[in-house]
Structure formats: structure tokens, C-alpha cells
Amino acid sequence: MKKLFPLLLLCLGLLASCGEDPKTPEELALEKISGAQGFTYTLGSTGYVKRNQVDESKFYTGLSLRLQGTTKSYTSSGASDLFDASGNWEFVGTNFDKIRLTGSKPASQVDISYTKNGQELVLVFSVPTPPGGRVASLTGNYEIKLTGN
């Protein structure tokens, strides 16, 4: 009987754990990009902003982007010509490797591919030439590397 008791406890533990729902791919992607409490990504000393493969980091020294997963909202600073100060974001498609920001700035309403490796987040997107040439100086292909903290 003494040998049967630990086995019974093990079986009960296994049965209790079977009721847990596994996380969906979207929930896993949310955790990756924004964590449970949100992540703030900054340019820092190892990041960069490249447009058409030319380093333009000097124009974005205070760049920060905070992504909140639970509300799918964001705030940004230091790049007011590219990003709105705040808004919402969503995943694009079912692979959960692209996001789209709301707003009216050039980085809004475009598909932004992202990769995350450890604390580093790399955003890749294109800003098309706007109708009438408005803000055409920002047109191009961007790659932005930020570090989370």
C-alpha cells in the first residue's frame, strides 16, 4: 500500500495538469514582442536607424518604442517624423511576424516585419511616396534595431 500511494499522487497530478489550455500562437507572439507587462525598446548605444541602407541614427538619438501586449497599444518618442506618439498595433496575418501601427505618420498603416533575438528587436518596413509628394523625404526602406529593457 505504501508503494501505491506515491503512484496515486503522481497520477492525480498528471490528471490535474491535463485541463490546462496551451497558449495559442498569437499569445506566444504577444509574449515575445511585448511581454506580460509591455516592453520599452530604445535605440541605445547598439541600435541603429537605417533608411535605404544609410545610417540615419543621429537623427533619432532619443528613439523609444513601448509595445503593450494586453491592450495592443504603443507609445513612441524621439521619432515624431516616423511614428505617432501613441496608438494601437495589431499582428498582420497568421504568422505573427508582422505588425501594423495605427496613426497618420509614415510608419503607420504599413506592414512592419520584426525579428526579436533576446532583448534586440529589429523592425523592417517601407515608407511609400505619399500622394502629392508630402513628406517624400522620409520615403524609403527602413531597418531599425532597438534594445528592450
Q: Is residue 110 part of a domain?
A: yes
Residue 74 is part of a domain; what is its CATH number?
2.40.160
Q: Is residue 61 part of a domain?
A: yes
Q: What pLDDT does residue 70 have?
A: 85
Q: Is residue 16 part of a domain?
A: no
Look at the pTM and tell me if it is higher than 0.85.
Answer: no
Q: Are 76 and 86 in contact (CB under 8 A)?
A: yes
* Chain centroid, CA 120 distance in Å: 10
Q: Is residue 141 part of a domain?
A: yes
How far is it, in rounded angstroms, from Cα 117 to Cα 125?
18
Q: What pLDDT does residue 81 have?
A: 92
Structural domain boundaries, residue 117: 25-148
Q: For residue 60, give every residue at least 6 positions away whose Cβ sits within 8 Å of its Cβ, in sequence order, or none.
A: 43, 49, 78, 79, 82
Q: What pLDDT does residue 149 have?
A: 74
Q: What pLDDT does residue 144 have?
A: 98
Q: Is residue 52 part of a domain?
A: yes
pLDDT tens figures, 45-83: 899 999 999 999 999 999 999 999 889 999 999 999 999
Q: What is the overall mean pLDDT for the chain?
A: 87
For 58, phi then psi, to 5°, come to: -60, -20
Residues of the chain with pLDDT under 50: none
Q: How many distinct structural domains can be found in the chain?
A: 1
Q: Is residue 17 part of a domain?
A: no
Q: Is residue 8 part of a domain?
A: no
Q: Is residue 71 part of a domain?
A: yes
Q: What pLDDT does residue 14 have?
A: 55
